[in-house]
């Protein structure tokens, strides 16, 4: 059955094994390409903010400004609010919103940001049109997404190859595009953005601590998250196959010579006057 164009199921869900990764994220490790453009007074919209650690960092970087974090999942916003409160921030608020149809007037924000969101939405070009609409003239639209097919690791492992193949099939069945990174610039141009700077950056996991953390969260996600449920319910994998993929992750994590790189594409777009 085909899905209406703009609806997609968020593949990962917000299981603890997923949030282990999201809550590790900072403006420095996930939005460095944007930071040089921020000014203390700016008004920022952070779309698909999840648990809000990047949102809170952005709020600290605009002490005379304001950040609004939005997400389509109401539950995760409670955690985002708690993060902001724990950090003593009074220039941030949160609301439920779908990026395809934002409930904000035209020309509202100096910066509209989305990290690891467009890969999960049903119509990323419409999402970028909305992001552009709510950005002030000369303001910035900033987007960063990973590209699963471009992720690479050592040593080679059939189980890890199966993980990548399975993840990409499940994400596409949910209406998303797991290889979003390479498409960001094209989507931006199709959305009518003309001033587009495209860059890329990586996360690397190599030390014993990094390998234990990265392999552990993927091994657990493969058995217990929404992605695991959708993999079996959608007929993409059996529970035995998921256990084998999970064990492949743990094996990789135990390898002293293990190395993993996550490629991300970034676009920093300036809205025309
Ligand atoms: C991979 S998480 C990224 C969270 C955060 N930006 C970060 O990098 O830590 C993607 C988030 O986008 C949200 N999301 C998915 N589709 C959305 C949509 N159509 N509109 C708004 N948020 C959406 C999900 O609920 C989830 O919290």
**Ligand 1 centroid, distance to 261 Cα (angstroms):** 22
Which of 31, 57, 117 to mutate to test ligand 1, by most ligand atoms within 8 A of the CB atom? 117
What separation in Å is there between the alpha carbon of 116 and the centre of ligand 1?
7
CB atoms within 10 A of CB 175: 20
Say if ligand 1 is within 6 A of residue 179 CB: no
Is the predicted pLDDT of residue 260 greater than 50, yes or no?
A: yes
Q: What is the mean pLDDT of residues 212-234?
A: 93
Share of the chain above pLDDT 70, in %: 97
Close Cβ partners of 195 (under 8 Å, ≥ 6 residues apart)? 269, 270, 271, 272
List pLDDT tens digits, range 85-133: 999 999 999 999 999 999 999 999 999 999 999 999 999 999 999 999 9
Angle at CA of residue 219, ends 149 and 53, nearest 5°: 80
Q: How many residues would you count in the chain?
A: 273
The pLDDT-based confidence of 1 (bands split at 50, 70, 90) is very low
Binned at pLDDT 50, 70 and 90, residue 6 comes out as low
């Amino acid at each position: 059955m085909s899905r209406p164009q703009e609806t997609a199921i968020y593949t990962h869900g917000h299981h603890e094994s997923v949030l282990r990764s999201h809550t590790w994220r900072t403006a420095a490790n996930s939005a460095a390409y944007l930071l040089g453009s921020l000014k203390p007074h700016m008004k920022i919209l952070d779309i698909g903010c999840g648990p809000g650690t990047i949102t809170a960092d952005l709020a600290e970087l605009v002490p005379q400004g304001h950040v609004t974090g939005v997400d389509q999942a109401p539950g995760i916003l409670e955690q985002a609010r708690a993060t902001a409160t724990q950090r003593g921030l009074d220039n941030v608020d949160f609301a439920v919103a779908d990026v395809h149809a934002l409930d904000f007037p035209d020309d509202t924000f100096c910066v509209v940001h989305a990290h690891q969101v467009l890969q999960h939405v049903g119509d990323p070009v419409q999402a970028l049109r909305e992001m552009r609409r709510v950005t002030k003239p000369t303001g910035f639209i900033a987007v960063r997404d990973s590209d699963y097919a471009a992720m690479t690791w050592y040593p080679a492992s059939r189980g890890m190859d199966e993980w990548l193949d399975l993840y990409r099939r499940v994400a596409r069945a949910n209406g998303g595009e797991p290889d979003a990174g390479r498409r960001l610039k094209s989507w931006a141009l199709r959305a009518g953005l003309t001033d587009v700077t495209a860059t890329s950056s990586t996360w690397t996991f190599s030390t014993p601590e990094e390998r234990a953390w990265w392999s552990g969260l993927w091994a657990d996600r493969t058995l217990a998250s929404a992605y695991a449920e959708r993999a079996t319910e959608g007929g993409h994998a059996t529970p035995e196959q998921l256990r084998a993929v999970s064990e492949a992750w743990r094996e990789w994590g135990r390898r002293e010579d293990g190395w993993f790189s996550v490629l991300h594409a970034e676009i920093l777009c300036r809205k025309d006057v």
